[in-house]
């Protein structure tokens, strides 16, 4: 199933490689104009050349080297985006790192804090920068990339796990703040990806990341992982008008029937499905809270 982004413009962070690049490619193929940002300017230049070759006449592929954890860089990205496009419709927050690996008391504290700054605060800053524009035009789509750390503990990857859980709850909270402006905010769980982040885990070894996680990562590497295109297709859907009204959700690209969700808008709005929540004893057939 394909979704049309013709006439729409998007800012995509962390777009120079891996899933970010796959999303950028999918957006260009769907007809969107894009401003791509990442920290490496040379890599971005190569990406711009590749994606410009896929674009049609009048379709803009622009880039801006930036570190989303730096306020001045975010302001520069936002300013260029608003100068490049008369209207912006979508923000895809993809930039992220695993951060330090090991027991919390042993990892480098500066690296731990930097992970929060990139993954969590960088996403928040990008939202802050573009929300006035979205609110002015009473329309927008914010697509936040999540990860395994959002829904389950990741021992020895505490900065990554904490930041990913934080951005999902931020997305849920922001969705409630901007719902009257027809701005949809959702998070994506893209699946187990074979990217540079997986290579980092394997390079760190079982002593730092834990034997169980290392073994599962090794298995994932051998089996191939989830195709990048799976998460990219969901990102296109959430950036398109087909997803209008779907907001405040964490959606799995692999496990959830997201193509069918427009037919269940009422259920999505009236329930807490696809959200972070507390599990109470009765949901596990336990009764001690009634004793």
Among residues 171, 234, 236, 253, the alpha carbon closest in space to that of 8 is found at 236
Q: What is d(CA 281, CA 279) in angstroms, rounded to the nearest whole number?
A: 7
3 state SS of 154: coil
**Stretch (H or E) spanning 58:** none
CA distance 12 to 93: 6
* CA distance to 12, 22, 223, per residue, from 63 (Å): 10, 15, 34
Buried b (16+ CB within 10 A) or exposed e, 35-49: bbbbbeeebbeebbe
Residue 3 bears catalytic tag: no
Distance of alpha carbon 210 from alpha carbon 202, whole angstroms:
11
Question: Out of 3, 27, 98, 160, which one is annotated catalytic?
Answer: 160
Catalytic residues: 160
């Amino acid at each position: 199933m394909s979704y049309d982004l013709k006439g729409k413009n998007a800012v995509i962070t962390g777009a120079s490689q891996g899933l970010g690049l796959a999303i950028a490619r999918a957006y260009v193929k769907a007809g969107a104009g894009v401003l791509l940002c990442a920290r490496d300017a040379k890599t971005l230049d190569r990406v711009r050349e590749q994606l410009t070759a896929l674009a049609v006449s009048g379709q803009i592929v622009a880039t801006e080297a930036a570190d989303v954890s730096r306020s001045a860089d975010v302001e520069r990205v936002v300013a260029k985006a608003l100068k490049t496009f008369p209207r912006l419709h979508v923000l895809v927050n993809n930039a992220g790192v695993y951060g330090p690996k090991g027991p919390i008391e042993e990892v480098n504290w500066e690296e731990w804090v930097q992970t929060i700054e990139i993954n969590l605060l960088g996403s928040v800053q990008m939202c802050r920068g573009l929300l006035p524009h979205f609110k002015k035009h009473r329309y927008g789509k914010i697509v936040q990339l999540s990860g395994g750390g959002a829904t389950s503990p990741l021992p020895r990857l505490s900065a990554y796990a904490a930041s990913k859980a934080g951005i999902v709850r931020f997305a849920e909270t922001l969705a409630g703040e901007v719902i009257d402006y027809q701005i949809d905010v959702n998070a994506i769980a893209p699946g187990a990806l074979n990217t540079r982040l997986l290579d980092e885990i394997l390079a760190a070894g079982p002593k730092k990341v834990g034997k169980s996680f290392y073994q599962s990562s090794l298995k994932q590497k051998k089996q191939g992982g989830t195709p990048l295109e799976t998460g990219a297709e969901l990102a296109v859907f959430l950036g398109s008008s087909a997803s209008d009204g779907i907001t405040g959700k964490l959606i799995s690209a692999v496990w959830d029937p997201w193509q069918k969700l427009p037919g269940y808008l009422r259920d999505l709005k009236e329930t807490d499905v696809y959200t972070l929540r507390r599990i109470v004893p009765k949901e596990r057939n336990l009764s001690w809270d009634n004793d």
